[in-house]
Amino acid sequence: DLYRKVFVFRKDPSDAYVVLRARLEQPLHNFTVCLRSYTDLGRPHSLFSYATKAQDNEILLFKPKPEEYRFYVGGKFVTFRVPESRRDWEHVCASWESATGIAEFWLNGKPWPRKGLQRGYAVGATASILLGQEQDGFGGGFDLYNSFSGELSDVYLWDAGLSPEKMRSAFLSLRLPPALLAWRSLSYEVKGDVVVKPRLRE
């Protein structure tokens, strides 16, 4: 149980990452991914990378610069422009719905204008899911200058779009529905220089 704990990615740039294991039975037609990050990086970095053998950016949360997030589904992306962080924790949730192609992006419990992405697509189920690196191949092909350095926490993946109430609950770390990946019961393996530590501040 990683409650009130964080992954600290100590080096910059880094070859370290964390492998996450989720039991996925079938392709995803809807999903929500949430996580909390704390970093002072000014360069591009990957937060959450879900690759299949057919598509290395099947799901990707990527931050090319401090005032921008990119959300990829099936190799295509939409951009969400955000205020430059005040060097604080940032909580993001991104959800996607195949039937409408609607992509939602929430930052610190607030929704951004919705965008269209990959209507009718299905996200493959046989996946390599990593924190801290962007996969340019299945489980590898890292560019160290896209690596994450800093602290990550509260990582979740659901096979559904969350309601606005649940999006706010995720931000506030309240009770959440059962997830494919849940921070409180995470199956993970650390590769390289990543340390699990108690969270220092809210």
Cα distances (angstroms) measured from residue 157 to each of 6, 11, 35, 75: 17, 26, 9, 18
Strand locations in 68-161, DSSP E?
68-73, 76-81, 90-97, 102-107, 110-111, 115-116, 128-131, 150-158
Cα distances (angstroms) measured from residue 38 to each of 57, 86, 135, 198: 23, 10, 21, 14
Q: By the 8 A CB rule, do 20 and 181 touch?
A: yes
β-bridge mates for residue 68, sequence order = 65, 81
pLDDT at position 168: 97
Q: Look at residue 1 and tell me whether its pLDDT is greater than 90.
A: no
pLDDT at position 161: 97
Averaged pLDDT, 173-197: 97
Predicted structure pTM score: 0.97
Cβ density class 136-165: b for 16+ within 10 Å, e for less: eebbeebeeebbbbbbbbbbbbbbbbbeee
Considering only 18-27, 68-77, 94-103, which range has the smallest mean pLDDT? 18-27
Higher pLDDT: 9 or 84? It is 9
Specify burial of residue 178 (Cβ count, 10 A radius: 0-12, 13-18, 19+).
exposed
Q: By the 8 A CB rule, do 85 and 66 touch?
A: yes
- For 85-115, the pLDDT digits (tens) are 778 999 999 999 999 999 999 999 999 999 9
Percent of the chain at pLDDT > 70 equals 100
Strand order in the sheet with 76-81: 76-81, 68-73, 59-65, 45-51, 128-131, 17-20, 188-191
β-bridge mates for residue 150, sequence order = 9
H helices within the chain, ranges in order? 164-172
- CATH number reported for the structural domain that contains residue 105 in this entry: 2.60.120.200
Residue 124 in tokens: 């493959």
Percent of the chain at pLDDT > 90 equals 96
pLDDT range class, residue 172, cuts 50, 70, 90: very high
pLDDT at position 202: 65
Domain that holds residue 73: 5-198
- For 140-165, the pLDDT digits (tens) are 999 999 999 999 999 999 999 999 99
76-81/194-198 β-pairing: unpaired
Counting the structural domains of the chain, the total is 1
pLDDT at position 34: 98
pLDDT at position 23: 84
Average pLDDT, the chain: 96
Q: Look at residue 17 and tell me whether its pLDDT is greater than 90.
A: yes
- For 33-72, the pLDDT digits (tens) are 999 999 999 999 999 999 999 999 999 999 999 999 999 9
What is the C-alpha separation between 155 and 83, in angstroms, rounded? 22
